[in-house]
Amino acid sequence: MIWSSRIYLGTGLKKKYRRIKWKIMHNIAQQGIFILRLPLGYSGNPEIISSSILRQKYYPGEPFCVIGLANTKREAFRLIEQITSEMYQKLNEIDYYCFFELEKPKTD
């Protein structure tokens, strides 16, 4: 799991960010936290997943980049809207990997 240096946080998570990140990285339950991650195949929109899904035994172990954390799904959608708006103002296009200054995944 890669954590973006430009992470977007929902209301009330700014003070708890380091603790929540540590718990997610150490596979400790975080009820009510939603993770925004970049799409795995370079195309599409960011995905919203519940942090509790990461604790499942058979969850795919593919590395992904976390770009945001939210308390509710509604707040997660607002964060995606905010990210997309800022991205379009800055780049005049929609390219999440370029906006977060990440290397695009290689396709074989």
Structure-token pair, residue 7 = 């992470």
On the 0-12 / 13-18 / 19+ scale of CB atoms within 10 A, 102 is middle
Residue 72 in contact with residue 34, Cβ under 8 Å?
Answer: yes
Q: Average of pLDDT values for 48-60?
A: 78
Helix (H/G/I), strand (E/B), else coil: 74: helix
Tell me the per-residue pLDDT of 6-31, one tens digit each, with 9 for 90 and over.
899 998 898 999 999 998 888 887 88
Distance CA 81, CA 104 (A): 22
For the chain, give the percent of residues with pLDDT over 70. Answer: 88
Q: pTM for the full model?
A: 0.82
Closest by CA position to 59, among listed 37, 42, 80? 37
